[in-house]
Structure 1
Amino acid sequence: MKKVLLGDTNIEVSRLCFGSLTMTPFQANLSVKDGAYLIEYAFERGINFLDTAEIYENYHYIKEALKGIKREEYVIATKSYAYTKEMAKASLDLALKKIGTDYIDIFLLHEQESIYTVKGHFEAIEYFLKAKEMGLIRAFGISTHNIAGAEAARKIKEIEIIHPIVNKQGLGIQDGNIDGMLKELKQIHALGKGIYGMKPLGGGHLIKNIEESFNFVKKIPFIDSIAIGMQSTKEIDANISLIEKGYIPQSLKEQIDKKKRKLIVADYCIACENCVKRCKQNGINIIDKIAVPNEKCILCGYCATVCPEFCIKVI
């Protein structure tokens, strides 16, 4: 698989990034052995880049996978909500210990909303920059669901890498649309900062138009790599075919389509009822202060477009 540099960081990654949340108890609930096997399988097929986060609680999967992968040939990005020096140190120490490594390639502040939230994490940023000087991390950055977060990445020179939501319909972008996000990202890339996008299929809602949706992101010239969740060898093969050829072979597509998809709602739902009002099928209700899909749900994904927290996904 083609490798590219993440901006000016000198970190070389595959065009496809292994999104590792989907293997965890939060979604597919794979065993550590099975999850580690998928990481190794993807690596053997050319994917040398993995995205995780402290909140995913899957560092032990990665540690197991690294038993069969040379550390210097693999790129690991992780994320933390730390906003103090002590929290930042604890997050980095945890990642190093649980993954069983001497360094983390990319450390991101998780879900930054704007320049104000980034500045509110200044103490943690200072620590991560010092950790970079000590060789404990190779690059620092942020992940964001907001155009204002991308704007912060453009304005703050210490941010070297950004991990933003990028998909054709702009699902999950909380303060605008895909055109606004791409306008910022183009400027960010021109500054030499690395960009790896997330949620090219909008949390699963664009899967019915998977090739069109994936190719939309793939063809954006300033997106270095695309992170996507993968739960099986067939999904890995399909995504590799997408990144290399732009399509999924029909036989493989038919096998993947046999998987029964479902709608899930994360426990940080704020019960705003936007999804209930939006659904013309009456397929979702608020029960005990959380949105719950019912038998009328047709997995159309329209509810996700009005969710302010992007907590509704199809898996």
Structure 2
Amino acid sequence: MKKVILGKTNIEVSRLCFGSLTMTPFQANLSVEEGAYLIQYAYDKGINFIDTAEIYENYIYIKEALRGIKRNDYVITTKCYAYTKKMAEESLELALRELDTDYIDIFLLHEQESIHTIRGHFEAIEYFIKAKEAGKIRSIGLSTHRVAGVLAAGEVDEIEIVHPIVNKYGIGIQDGTIEDMLNAIKVIHDMGKGIYAMKPLGGGHLIKEVEEAFNYVKNIPFIDSIAIGLQSKVEIDSNINLLEKGFIPENLKEKLLKKKRKLIIADYCIGCGRCVERCRQRGIQVIDGRAIPNENCILCGYCAKTCPEFCVKVI
């Protein structure tokens, strides 16, 4: 698989990044052995880049997988919400310990919204800068669901890598359109920031148009790599085909269609009811302050476009 350098860093990654949230108890609930096997399988196919986060609670999967992977050829990104030196130190030491590694390739501040939130987290950034000087981190960055978050990265030299939402309908972008997001990404890419996109299938809602949706993101010239959730060999093989050939072979499509998918609502749902108003099938309702899908849900994904918190996903 083709490798690229993320921005001005010397970090070389595959064009496809293994999104690891989907294998966890929060979604597919794979065993550690199953998850580790998939990470190793993807590595053998050329995927040397994995995205995780402290909140995913899946370091143990990656630690197990690293037993069969050449560490200096593998790139690990993790994220945390730290905003003080103490919190940043605790997050880094947790990641090093639970992954059983001497360094983290990329450490991101999770879900940054604007320059104001970055300033509010700058004590953590200063700690990560020192950790980078000590060789415990190779690069620092941020993840964001907002155009303002992307643009804010351009104001901070220490932020080298940005992980934004990008999909053809802009599902999950909280403060603008996909056009706004692409304009912002191009600005910071031209400044030398490394870009790896998240949610090319809009949290699973674009699965029915997977080839068109994936190719849309793949063909954006200022995106270095694409993170996508992977929870089976079929999904790994299908996404590699999408990246390298632009389509999924029929035999893999048939296997994908057999997978029983479901709508899940993240536990940070605020119960605003916009999804209920949007659903023409009466397939979702707010109960005790949280949206809950019911037997009428047809997995159309229309409700996700109205969710201000990007809580609604298809797995």
**Does TM, normalized by the shorter one, top 0.5?**
yes
Q: Structure 1 stretches (4+) deviating beyond 3 angstroms?
A: none
Could you tell me which residue of structure 1 aligns to residue 186 of structure 2?
186
2:154 aligned partner: 154
Match of 2:145 in 1: 145
Q: CA deviation at 1:295?
A: 1.1
CA distance in 2 between counterparts of 1:154 and 1:170 reads: 21
1:286 corresponds to which residue?
Answer: 286
Aligned residue in 1 for 2:313: 313
Provide the C-alpha distance between the structure 1 equivalents of 2:288 and 2:272, rounded to a whole number of angstroms: 12
Work out the CA distance in 2 between the residues paired with 1:55 and 1:28. 16
1:262, distance to aligned residue in structure 2 (A): 0.6
Q: CA deviation at 1:296?
A: 1.1
Once the two structures are superposed, what CA deviation does each residue of 1:252-310 show, in whole Å capped at 9, x if it has no partner?
A: 11111110111000111100011111111111001121100111111111111110110
The equivalent of 1:236 in structure 2 is: 236
1:100 maps to which residue?
100
**Counterpart in the other structure of 2:256:** 256
Q: Which amino acid aligns with 1:150?
A: V
Mapped pair 1:53 → 2:70: no
Q: Secondary structure at the match of 1:203?
A: coil
For 1:280 and 1:83, the matched residues in 2 are separated by: 42
CA deviation profile, 1:34-70 (whole Å, cap 9, x unmatched): 1000000000000000000000000010000000011
Q: Aligned partners of 2:114 and 2:302: how far apart in 1?
A: 26
2:194 matches 1:201:
no
Distance in 2 (CA, whole Å) between partners of 1:262 and 1:211 is 20
**Residue identity (%):** 73
C-alpha separation between the residues in 2 aligned to 1:255 and 1:302?
Answer: 25
For 1:226, the equivalent position in structure 2 comes to 226
Structure 2, unaligned runs of 5 or more? none
Deviations 1:81-123 (A, max 9, x none): 0000000000000000000000000000000010100100010
| Partner SS, residue 154 of structure 2 | helix
For 1:26, the equivalent position in structure 2 comes to 26
Quick one: which amino acid aligns to residue 211 of structure 1? Answer: E
Report the residue type matching 1:147 in the other structure. Answer: V
1:226-270 superposed Cα distances (whole Å, 9 cap, x missing partner) = 000011011000000000000000111111111011100011110
SS in 2 for 1:139: strand
* C-alpha distance in 2 between matches for 1:157 and 1:281: 48
- CA–CA separation in structure 1 for the residues paired with 2:251 and 2:38: 21
Q: What's the counterpart of residue 269 of structure 1?
A: 269
1:133: which partner in 2? Answer: 133
The alignment's TM-score, normalised by the length of structure 2, stands at: 0.99
Measure, in 2, the Cα distance between the counterparts of 1:197 and 1:221: 12
Q: TM-score, normalised by structure 1?
A: 0.99
Q: Which residue of 2 aligns with 1:4?
A: 4
The structural deviation recorded for 1:176 is 0.5
Identify unmatched segments of 5+ residues in structure 1.
Answer: none
Instruction: Determine the structure 2 residue equivalent to 1:298.
Output: 298
Q: Measure how far apart 1:25 and its partner are.
A: 0.1
How far apart, CA to CA, are the structure 2 residues paired with 1:242 and 1:140? Answer: 29
Question: What amino acid is aligned across from residue 207 of structure 1 in structure 2?
Answer: I
The code of the aligned residue for 1:164 comes to: P
